[in-house]
Amino acid sequence: MREHDRLFIGGEWAAPSGTGTIDVVSPHTEEVVGRVPDGTEADIDAAVAAARRAFDHGPWPRMAPAERAAALGRLSAIYAERQQEMADLVTEEMGSPILFSIFGQAALPQMVLQYYVDLAAEFPFEEERAGMLGPVTVTREPVGVVAAIYPWNVPQFTLMMKLAPALVAGCTVVAKPSPEAPLDGFLLAEWVREAGIPEGVVNIVPAGREVGAYLVEHPGVDKVAFTGSTAAGRTIGAACGRRLRACTLELGGKSAAIILPDADLAATVEGLKMASLMNNGEACAAQTRVLAPRSRYAEVADALAAMVGGLAVGDPADYGTEIGPLAARRQRDRVEGYIRVGQDEGAKVITGGLDRPHDRGWYVAPTVFGDVTPDMRIAREEIFGPVLALLAYDDEDDAVRIANDSEYGLGGSVWTADVDHGVEVARRIRTGSCGVNLYVLDPNTPFGGYKDSGLGRELGPEGLAPYLEYKAIPRPA
């Protein structure tokens, strides 16, 4: 039982203003494995005030980028040494299979942090330009206090995509983890203190949706960075619009994997195991629409069913597990609801369905639907679980049309024996990223979406830009 009775505010473990707590329930055992304070509006006030002081009067924004990078380098080194501890913790709190956690929940966040540490050494925070009327100094300065609101599915990764560039820029941060997965944030707070990050630069307050909305509207906040549902993103975007406050929104997805007629089917299906079902399917960029040519549809259906039906489903802490439980009871119920919707719409369950793999824990059988048409809800709405929809296409143009016929535009992939041609097809897909014969997120390349998948980009140098303001200082020739 991991129990915390204080919040991380102003560089210290501060007593919460309220008495409410959040129970963290294991998705595998359905037992309470942790407890943290349930943050209140008063706690948000205290955290924002601490971040405001640190930004307005503290050393952090006034340090040279190399000084900030040195401090963050210490944090990165601690993170690198204790990745296994973080992976185990995230698996316990939200059910991610341990082999995925080791990479996606621990190693990848540390890689993102180290990427921005290294970027600080070469990024042009200041430059001289020959203006038309005389010389101009152009500086890039920190935007201010950042509210970082992040979800339960990959909590450290989605936080670090915000925290690392914000800190490199010189911002201060109030981070709000989700109630389902707050424990990893407390471990990170310990490492922040150990690394000697100045007080108030990082503040962590777990809380529910209402308190999160209060943080978004807080007058002491200069920018909001959010990862979560499109519905919540619309609300946050509207609130930021009213206040003329900058925001970055990384939202939902319904990504398509296009299997071209020349694809090596065995290699493709093996690649889709990660691209489509990573983290129990609880990934915004998961390739959950699989598009197969009619000429190979039956062959693809059989191969996909064999792969998905053969996945090991069980204890997420077991190194042999490929699919663990979903993060919350309501998430399991939501996914099962979509399986019923698919059946009601006339799609065919090729493998999986509503028979639960285990009596205890929030498990759903990995499921593949065939005979899916583009107008069905299971082909249009984000399910966020191990459920794939297999659709047929007539030719390449038809595949591109189906892939782009979506409110979302986050990820995608093309599977083919001709990589150069796959790149050309990927260029036609209206998404923020589209892999060829794989799907990965690389820390040094931009990640984000078109359409209802969000606003702005994270990762890469493009992920640093939203945390900077540009200032021009002209002077006489």
CATH of the domain at 133: 3.40.605.10
Domain membership flag for residue 235:
yes
Domain count, the chain: 2
CB 158 within 8 A of CB 165: no
CA distance 55 to 18: 26
Considering the domain architecture, whether residues 277 and 196 belong to the same structural domain is answered as: no
Residues 237 and 302 in one domain: no
- Size of the chain, expressed as the number of residues it contains: 477
| CA–CA dist 280, 99 (Å, integer) | 12
Residues 309, 400 share a domain: yes
236 and 202, same domain (yes or no): yes
Residue 371 is part of which domain span? Answer: 256-442
Three-state secondary structure readout of the chain:
CEECCCEEECCEEECCCCCCEEEEECCCCCCEEEEEECCCHHHHHHHHHHHHHHHHCCCHHHCCHHHHHHHHHHHHHHHHHCHHHHHHHHHHHHCCCHHHHHHHHHHHHHHHHHHHHHHCCCCCCEEEEECCCCEEEEEEEECCEEEEECCCCCHHHHHHHHHHHHHHHCCEEEEECCCCCCHHHHHHHHHHHHHCCCCCCEEECCCCHHHHHHHHHCCCCCEEEEECCHHHHHHHHHHHHHCCCEEEEECCCCCEEEECCCCCHHHHHHHHHHHHHHHHHCCCCCCCEEEEEHHHHHHHHHHHHHHHHCCCECCCCCCCCCECCCCCHHHHHHHHHHHHHHHHHCCEEEECCCCCCCCCCCCCCCEEEEEECCCCHHHHCCCCCCEEEEEEECCHHHHHHHHHCCCEECCEEEECCCHHHHHHHHHCCCCCCCEECCCCCCCCCCECCEECCEECCECCHHHCHHHEEEEEEECCC
102 inside domain: yes
**Residue 43 vs residues 40, 51, 214, 250: alpha-carbon distances, Å:** 5, 12, 11, 26
Are residue 245 and residue 366 in the same domain, yes or no?
A: no
Residue 232 is predicted with a pLDDT of 97
Residues 86 and 208 in one domain: yes
Asked if residue 54 is part of any domain, the answer here is yes
In a domain, 448, yes or no: no
- 266 burial type by CB count under 10 A (0-12 exposed, 13-18 middle, 19+ buried): exposed
Specify whether 95 is located in the same domain as 239: yes
Q: Which of 171, 240, 247, 284 is catalytic?
A: 284
pLDDT, residue 170, reads 98
Q: Do 80 and 136 belong to one domain? A: yes
Query: Mean pLDDT of residues grouped by 10 in the chain (477 residues)?
Result: 97 97 98 98 98 98 97 98 98 98 98 98 95 95 98 98 98 98 98 98 98 98 98 98 97 98 98 98 98 98 98 98 98 98 98 96 98 98 98 98 98 98 98 97 96 98 98 94
Span 272-328, pLDDT tens digits: 999 999 999 999 999 999 999 999 999 999 999 999 999 999 999 999 999 999 999
Q: Establish if 22 belongs to a structural domain.
A: yes
- Domain-located, residue 151: yes
Query: Is 224 found in the same domain as 86?
Result: yes
Nearest CA to 275 out of 294, 299, 259 is that of 259
CA gap 113, 72 in Å, rounded: 8
Domain annotation covers residue 66: yes
* 261 plus 242 within the same structural domain: no
Specify whether 238 is located in the same domain as 133: yes
Query: Could you tell me if 415 and 257 are in contact, meaning their C-beta atoms sit under 8 angstroms apart?
Result: yes
CATH of the domain at 427: 3.40.309.10
Tell me the C-alpha distance between 80 and 218, whole Å: 34
Annotated catalytic residue 250: yes
Would residue 315 be called left, alpha or beta, if left means φ above 0 and alpha means ψ between -120 and 50 degrees?
Answer: beta
Would you say residue 284 lies in a domain? yes
Q: Which of 92, 93, 180, 250 is catalytic?
A: 250
Residues 412, 273 share a domain: yes
Q: What pLDDT does 477 receive?
A: 84
